[in-house]
Structure 1
Amino acid sequence: MKHIEHIDNANRLSQHRFKYYDLAMVATCVIIVCANIIGAGKVANIAGYSFGAGILFFPLSYVLGDVLTEVYGYARARRVIWAGFASALFAAGMAAFITAIPPDPAWNTDLGGIDMQSAFALNFGQVPRIVLASVVAIWAGEMANAYVMAKMKIWSDGKALYQRTIGSTMVGQGVDSLIFYPLAFYGIWESQLVLAVMLTNYVLKVLWEVMLTPITYKVVNSLKKAEGVDVFDKGTEFTPFSLRS
């Protein structure tokens, strides 16, 4: 079995060549963009319960965030979070720009009472306030998640992974929810509705993390074996405003 080296020195870590870090970064960016652009556009109803469809996939970004922090350390997870933030911002800006430019009359045909431009706007023309709230909440929530995950790993000496994954998600999703729902909907929805949706979606997101814990364990263990390292952030600078890895 491949030896797993415990690394808590930034210089030694910078010399290590990772096999799957780039793929984890791409996967995180894809999930954040899709959940923000596609998932945010639909309210689903299953068994009489209404919820934002994006909640079914967005928590996967926190699972990947846990994996990234556990395997590659806070600094590299922070770099991925910034990449996801930039990706979501670009995707939202691109969607807004393409929605705003005038459509070609030949393309803008009638679709049984709604024209193509209106249909396109319904899918991609997001309200700027909601986009801003979403992007800021994702960045802050993911950063909080990675910070708690890394700190708990040091405190626990790398034991009890499930406590770190669930605990960090509770904090990260809490920060995300406290920022997104009031910033996006306060003054538009009634205060009671904002609070109810915020609490319900928060609980569902955390439950998702709990349910996916066995998968997180398998992915983390497999990646540690493949990369040959187990990173401890004992000498890491924990500022979120850096791209250094």
Structure 2
Amino acid sequence: MSGPAPAPDQPVQISAADARQFRYYDLVMAAFVAILLLSNIIGASKPSYIPLPGGGEWAFAAGVMFFPVSYIIGDILTEVYGYARARRVIWTGFAALAFMAFMAWVVVSLPPAKGWPGQESYEFVFGNSWRIVIASMLAFWAGEFANSYVLARMKLWTQGRHLWMRTIGSTIVGQGLDSLIFYPLAFYGLVGWPPEQLMQVALSQWLIKTLWEALLTPATYMVVTTLKRREGVDVFDDKTDFTPFQAHL
């Protein structure tokens, strides 16, 4: 898809199939994978809380503060570089999560040296059950692809207008799928997780992640505008094969 002749400092609207080399694509990919892994390693195991009026507490997973940033970067990838290149990044992140889970399992399973006191702590932090690992990976895969697909389709429908509507709308769908898949798969039927509490936690996490996206919209606008200008493109997925089951462009 091509637009009218651009001003000298404006990005050129092109089809995803016509785009080739980019200056910052690999850096955005690295940021996406880094935040994805760090939010799963550092934030996933720690619950925190917000004090409520009357002395109550509202608990939440600490990782929810940073994991939504991966969705924001996913929005930036799709908006600037197109769905096909975002798809490559999502598969890269999925492979990185799989390797992280395998590495954690190997390291935790190895017998500790005699006298080393850290094995119990290692098991507590990194010894997630395979049920939680699989639930996390499936939720990430489905949520990220839904997020990218909805944003790319909405960009075509709106002819590139209303970026805020596309980023928030795609996040509502993507984060909703992520929460809906992860919590039931990871915790349904376990002691201490009655169904009503499970759905309450899933809903609250969905709302928090979507709110983060909305609050960071100005930053998303700034990054998208800067990247489009410096890359000199504005990719539209009018000729893209939207199947998630491939990694080539």
How does the TM-score come out when normalised to structure 1?
0.94
Partners of 1:123 and 1:83 in 2: CA distance? 24
Q: Does 1:64 align with 2:73?
A: yes
Pick aligned residue for 2:217 from 213, 219, 231: 213
After superposition, give the CA deviation of every residue in 1:163-193 in whole Å (9 maximum; x if it has no partner). 0000000000011111101000100111011
Shift of 1:218: 0.2
Written as runs of structure 1 = structure 2, the 5 A alignment for 1:82-231 is 82-106=91-115, 108-109=116-117, 116-188=118-190, 189-231=193-235
* Structure 1 stretches of 4+ moved >2 Å: none
After superposition, give the CA deviation of every residue in 1:120-146 in whole Å (9 maximum; x if it has no partner). 111111111111100110011000000
Contact 1:6 1:232 in 2 (8 A): yes
Pick aligned residue for 1:75 from 51, 74, 84: 84
Contact 2:16 2:84 in 1 (8 A): no
- Counterpart of 1:137, as a letter, is A
- Counterpart of 1:36, as a letter, is N
Unmatched 5+ stretches in structure 2: 1-7, 52-56
- Residue 68 of structure 1 aligns to a residue in which SS? helix
Q: Does 1:7 align with 2:19?
A: no
- Residue 44 of structure 2 aligns to a residue in which SS? helix
Change (3 A) 1:62 1:9: closer
Partners of 1:23 and 1:92 in 2: CA distance? 24
Unmatched 5+ stretches in structure 1: 110-115
Change (3 A) 1:19 1:43: same
- Residue 141 of structure 2 aligns to a residue in which SS? helix
Task: Answer with 151-160 or 35-44: which moved more.
Answer: 35-44
Partners of 1:76 and 1:9 in 2: CA distance? 9
Specify the alignment match of 1:113 in structure 2.
none
- Counterpart of 1:81, as a letter, is I
After superposition, give the CA deviation of every residue in 1:88-128 in whole Å (9 maximum; x if it has no partner). 1111110111001100013x23xxxxxx1101111111111
Contact 1:37 1:92 in 2 (8 A): no
Change (3 A) 1:9 1:141: closer
Contact 1:82 1:243 in 2 (8 A): yes
- Counterpart of 2:168, as a letter, is I
The sequence identity of aligned pairs, in percent, is 53
Partners of 2:41 and 2:105 in 1: CA distance? 11
Superposed CA RMSD: 1.0
Pick aligned residue for 1:235 from 232, 239, 246: 239
